[in-house]
Amino acid sequence: MKALALDINQFGKTEEIQSHIRHSLSLGLPEFYPALCSHDGTMSVVGSGPSLLSTYEELREERAKGRPIIAVKGTHNFLIERGLEPDLWMTIDPRPRLDQLKLKAENTIYIVSSRCHPEVFERLKDDRVILFHSYAVQDEADSIFEERDAKANGLTTFCIGGGTTSGVRAIHLSYAMGFRRFVLYGLDSSL
């Protein structure tokens, strides 16, 4: 039996992502903290995989139970178009994927990784944005810590690990918010 060898590459070059981190930290946004929304311990995590087309109506039942919905990337528009405004939206993608935010959601909290492109922050400048730090590689974490030390503001830097996709990271982010049960929709991606 041969050991499985995976060669995983993330989007973006280290220097580019470090530049994104410095930019996002310069915005003075509030940073991630647990309990962004009330809950019973269950989070509905929604990605844009093909199964979402046949399961999204089930989200109305989850919403009726008072369970929050976290939309991953492009799922934001899909849910809003169907009258299911997400409570939370998140991404770790360093590319300027503004097409994922075509629609406005008045009550959604936008949780954006510091590694994301500055254009994403510009698009969300009038919305409620919470900044979080996603741990992917040490070079990125080092740039967060260096920026913090340079500002000497005494904040503790909290990085959330958990995979290379925004969908998998949404589960880890939800766990950090105190959720322990997850109902997954549309997370049947190619990864």
For the chain, how many residues are written? 191
Could you tell me if 149 and 50 are in contact, meaning their C-beta atoms sit under 8 angstroms apart? no
Buried b (16+ CB within 10 A) or exposed e, 33-45: eeebbebeebbbb
| 82 alpha carbon, distance to own chain's centre | 21
Residues contacting 28, CB < 8 A, separation 6+? none
This prediction's pTM: 0.76
172 vs 177: CA distance, rounded Å: 9
Residues contacting 119, CB < 8 A, separation 6+? 96, 98
Q: Pick 22 or 146 by higher pLDDT.
A: 22
Q: What is the mean pLDDT of the chain?
A: 84
Q: Pick 146 or 154 by higher pLDDT.
A: 146
**Is the per-residue pLDDT at 163 higher than 80?**
no
Structure confidence at residue 147 (pLDDT) = 59
Could you tell me if 92 and 113 are in contact, meaning their C-beta atoms sit under 8 angstroms apart? yes
Q: Pick 152 or 33 by higher pLDDT.
A: 33
87 vs 67: CA distance, rounded Å: 9
99 vs 7: CA distance, rounded Å: 29
**Is the per-residue pLDDT at 59 higher than 80?**
yes
**Residues 32-41, mean pLDDT to the nearest whole number:** 72
**Is the per-residue pLDDT at 143 higher than 80?**
no
Q: Pick 159 or 124 by higher pLDDT.
A: 124
**Residues 110-126, mean pLDDT to the nearest whole number:** 94
Could you tell me if 166 and 93 are in contact, meaning their C-beta atoms sit under 8 angstroms apart? yes
What the block records as the tokens of 154 is 């005494």
